[in-house]
Structure 1
């Protein structure tokens, strides 16, 4: 195994350039899928790496609950720098569990509160809240709903409202809340993956923008609706649920909508800068997964050999 067991902890450092290339050059749908999968794989692998290190660290502590044979020298040789890395992995893994648990619980709690707040309204696909504060969001659930306030509806004309509803329905149809939650949990598991979470929050918005432009038949109309909604919503409270799409960098979104439509090709050609970056991201995630799997199998075999029948 050697030092390669630490590879899953190092690979997330490539998240920032990977995210930038995907944002700028891939179709938003492709970028969302790629970045979310890579973030999830790297997060799982780095957490597994911490768990493997923790086993060694725990086995060396006095009064540990593990079998005595697990502190055998053969077990400690399975991982380099076991005394330092193993003990340091214990609080690190505890922090990962706490952070991910809090994020998942907050997601569930806010989603339940949002559904409860709409329980008194008519059961329709669009819920209009009598609130002068302008905002709108897509609420996933047993019956997906678009939530919008009277304040925002009053600020938009009929065509812009259609673009707004098309955008929010695109979030629901694409199940963007799942991508957002997965990327948020990955960022909580490994802080180095935060650029991927930020990128996914942007690419899901761009994905919804492009779907809305296709539905209403005008990219300029969607750009105008996005810009106007952002201006009138300035200062309004933002959604705190990990699965709610946020406004994202509006100037970049508007500029992208005013430019040519992105290519619908699912994967870029190999022999281009973008293609090499995309394949490099996929290869990095695969290498991390293989490294973690190899470490897990090797450690399991060592522990099995060290544990008496």
Structure 2
């Protein structure tokens, strides 16, 4: 209890340090599939550890302490009172952060559903007349792809195929759910912020690789990325496929080389870092229950 309950915080830092390495070097689909569940498990273990630290304040309840001492039973204070109170405050902050994150996700999904409202059920592609270059996937049943006329006009025929294949990959592999999961994990455990950043980058790289495979030309895919980024830069807006983020040059550079390797050893380490906090949190739970049970017996 004295050590295991704090371990998820340390492992959060280790996972956040490993995430950028996977994002830069490993095959995107593998890295995203490993980091996302690892982040969710680590965040859940961290929150549960805070619950345990707050619950350990029960050991300081005067009647329990007095009864244990009068009966001559050994009494061990599992957590200092200051840490227990800090855990209570941290849980309140986590609840607030999660509430904000959930509201933001719901608001985004409602806005996307409104964009697809009124379209026939079998329509995958929605073209909107707009001078703003945008394109994005709209999750749902069925999923839709919305592209503005400005974006289509900025790209050649082969580059349009890249665009559609990229967005279709987002829908096929449910990247929206992956990003939502790591967003909520980072809201619950702010130490996992770098993991969320890595996963957001990885789902874009994942879709890039699927688009390159669909069109059969990595150079055309890189050119589509570059042209869309330049088009968005001229209009000063955020456009399709996260083309205007700071990672665009890394994505273009990755497409100009061969497909990234499957770094299974590093991926397994990341998965272990996500599983270990849950095991340690379970161990700390058993220790706390044992302490409280000994006091009440």
CA deviation profile, 1:261-294 (whole Å, cap 9, x unmatched): 223x4x53xxxxxx2x434323322321211010
Of 253, 256, 259, the residue aligned with 2:254 is 256
Matched ranges for 1:6-45 at <5 A: 6-45=6-45
Shift of 1:199: 0.4
Shift of 1:110: 1.8
Shift of 1:60: 4.8
Shift of 1:103: 0.7
Residue 242 of structure 2 corresponds to which residue in structure 1? 246
Taking structure 1 as reference, are residues 78 and 165 closer, same or farther at Cα in structure 2, changes over 3 Å only?
A: farther
* 2:1 pairs with 1:5: no
Of 91, 97, 100, the residue aligned with 2:98 is 100
The answer to whether the 8 A contact 2:135-2:147 is kept is yes
State the distance in 1 between where 2:194 and 2:226 align.
24
Taking structure 1 as reference, are residues 307 and 171 closer, same or farther at Cα in structure 2, changes over 3 Å only?
A: same
State the distance in 2 between where 1:290 and 1:220 align.
45
Residue 287 of structure 2 corresponds to which residue in structure 1? 298
State the distance in 2 between where 1:72 and 1:172 align.
60
CA deviation profile, 1:190-245 (whole Å, cap 9, x unmatched): 11111100000111111100011111111111111111111112322469xxxxx6
The answer to whether the 8 A contact 2:101-2:184 is kept is yes
SS in 2 for 1:120: coil
Residue 46 of structure 1 corresponds to which residue in structure 2? 46
CA deviation profile, 1:127-180 (whole Å, cap 9, x unmatched): 111111001111101210011111111111111111100000001111111111
More relative contact order in 1 or in 2 (CA 8 Å, sep 6+)?
Answer: 2
Task: Please report the TM-score for the alignment, with normalisation by the length of structure 2.
Answer: 0.88
Residue 272 of structure 1 corresponds to which residue in structure 2? none
State the distance in 2 between where 1:129 and 1:232 align.
17
* 2:86 pairs with 1:88: yes
State the distance in 2 between where 1:72 and 1:253 align.
64
SS in 1 for 2:147: strand
Q: Which runs of 5+ in 2 are unaligned?
A: none
SS in 2 for 1:2: coil
Q: CA RMSD in A?
A: 2.5
The answer to whether the 8 A contact 1:78-1:299 is kept is no
The answer to whether the 8 A contact 2:27-2:259 is kept is no
Task: Please report the TM-score for the alignment, with normalisation by the length of structure 1.
Answer: 0.85
Does 278-287 or 216-225 show the bigger shift?
278-287
Residue 269 of structure 2 corresponds to which residue in structure 1? 280
Residue 242 of structure 1 corresponds to which residue in structure 2? none
Does 50-59 or 33-42 show the bigger shift?
50-59
Does 298-307 or 27-36 show the bigger shift?
298-307
State the distance in 2 between where 1:75 and 1:255 align.
63
The answer to whether the 8 A contact 1:159-1:221 is kept is yes
Does 160-169 or 32-41 show the bigger shift?
32-41
Q: Which runs of 5+ in 1 are unaligned?
A: 63-67, 240-244, 269-274
Residue 65 of structure 1 corresponds to which residue in structure 2? none
